[in-house]
Amino acid sequence: MDNLRSIDRLWTVEDVSAYLGVPVKTLYQWKWRGEGPPVRKVGRHLRYDPAKLRAWLDNEEAAA
């Protein structure tokens, strides 16, 4: 994720995997089960809004 230059850029599954430290497969499973961080499809690709991802993570940590 070192190459992320724009804060407006949506993150890829690989970006989120590296950020959260979970396998890409886990992110796809969460999407399929309706769990995990908010995600949207752009074409056939999953994309994540970094701000929404961080908000989801904050909520998960607060609930723990």
8 Å CB contact between 52 and 37: yes
Only one residue has tokens 């950020």, namely 19
User: What pLDDT is recorded for position 23?
Assistant: 98
Entry pTM: 0.82
User: What pLDDT is recorded for position 64?
Assistant: 81
Q: Is pLDDT at 55 greater than 90 in this prediction?
A: yes
Query: pLDDT of 7-53, one tens digit each?
Result: 579 999 999 999 999 999 999 999 999 999 999 999 999 999 999 99
User: What pLDDT is recorded for position 29?
Assistant: 97
Q: Is pLDDT at 2 greater than 70 in this prediction?
A: no
